[in-house]
Amino acid sequence: MISNSSKYAIKAVLFLALHSNEDHKIMVKDIAKPINVPQAYIAKLLQELVKENIISSTRGPKGGFYLNKENVSQPVINILNNIDGEKRLTSCMLSLEKCNEDKPCPLHAILSPSRKEILKILNEKTIKELALDVEQGNSYLPL
Amino acid sequence: MISNSSKYAIKAVLFLALHSNEDHKIMVKDIAKPINVPQAYIAKLLQELVKENIISSTRGPKGGFYLNKENVSQPVINILNNIDGEKRLTSCMLSLEKCNEDKPCPLHAILSPSRKEILKILNEKTIKELALDVEQGNSYLPL
DNA sequence: AATATTATATGATAAAAATCATATTTGAGA
DNA sequence: TCTCAAATATGATTTTTATCATATAATATT
């Protein structure tokens, strides 16, 4: 349902949400370590996220990755859709071409409400809110 | 969340639930085609399911795969657990070692109820019931 | 008992996902 | 404008998952 790459990406974005801003950028090596992901791997993922304006970066000295106001206001699902593609979360659980709401496959029929709920949450919850949950003690790290 | 292999396995078991019984076994080539899965691949998966008594088989002429009374009474989740391992469905969505109900990771915190609901359904719904849904027009094939 | 037919066991190959390595580009500061 | 520190682009390698192939074992039928 959610790839390793997406998990890493979410961890990294969450880390940035909690520790970076436009005046305090963080370089990849200082992200990789605390979130426990290989540096070269997370670097590649972060680059993809920058391309889609999900996170921000600048190069050179004093450069690094960070989140701006727009970045933190995006829903969590943007990360997943960018890394895994949109289909991953919405496609038929049995990979049947013809499965849809009107003629659901057997798994779809019994799991559709729960899946919809998950999609709804991921669409509504923003990066900012997720970080706030951590800051308020509703959820926990370390990553 | 659910591997290709598990999807194939569920399709095959569902096909057997609908078309086989102890007096009418079905050989692998007659399963592979209608469910649209490579024969050698589904053969391997079916063999694993036999080992765990999730489905039944006999060799030789008139042999094949089938489901007996016990087989059809098992919950769907048995298939998933056997093919993918138990952790796949229950492990932390961010793959954090320390994530648990008491100290949930940010994703866990917002998605836990929906995930629990999915687990509950997969644990309660039996193969038989899933097949019945199809027979009663509550869900649809072909596979 | 012999034969043909089926699943089973084993392992080889191919494709995809995850991981690692490095040369190039950009930008800040001296 | 030179230098150095950072991201970026590109692609190689490794691991996992998916797929394919085949020799062996079991069983019904003759």
Interface test with B, best of A114, A115, A120, A123 (most B CBs within 10 A): A114
Q: Where does the pLDDT of residue B99 fall: very low under 50, low under 70, confident under 90, or very high at 90 and above?
A: confident
Quickly give A62 CA vs D2 C1' distance in Å.
Answer: 18
Question: Domains of chain B: which residue ranges?
Answer: 4-135
pTM recorded for the entire structure: 0.89
3-state SS class at A128: helix
Q: How far apart are CA A92 and CA A109, in angstroms?
A: 10
Burial class (CB in 10 A: 0-12, 13-18, 19+), A61: exposed
Phi/psi class of residue A85: alpha, beta or left (left: φ > 0; alpha: ψ in -120 to 50)?
left
pLDDT tens for the 143 residues of chain A, in order: 788 999 999 999 999 999 999 999 999 999 999 998 999 999 999 999 999 999 999 998 989 999 999 999 999 999 999 998 888 888 888 877 778 888 899 999 999 999 999 999 999 999 999 999 999 999 987 76
Cα–Cα–Cα angle for B93, B99, B102, nearest 5°?
125
How many CB atoms lie under 10 A from the CB of residue A115? 19
Q: Which residue has the tokens 């450069």?
A: A63
Question: What is the CATH code of the structural domain delimited by A4-135?
Answer: 1.10.10.10
Which protein residues have their Cβ less than 7 angstroms from some atom of strand C? A 3-5, 8, 38, 40-41, 43-44, 58-63; B 25-29, 43-44, 46-47, 50-51, 57-65
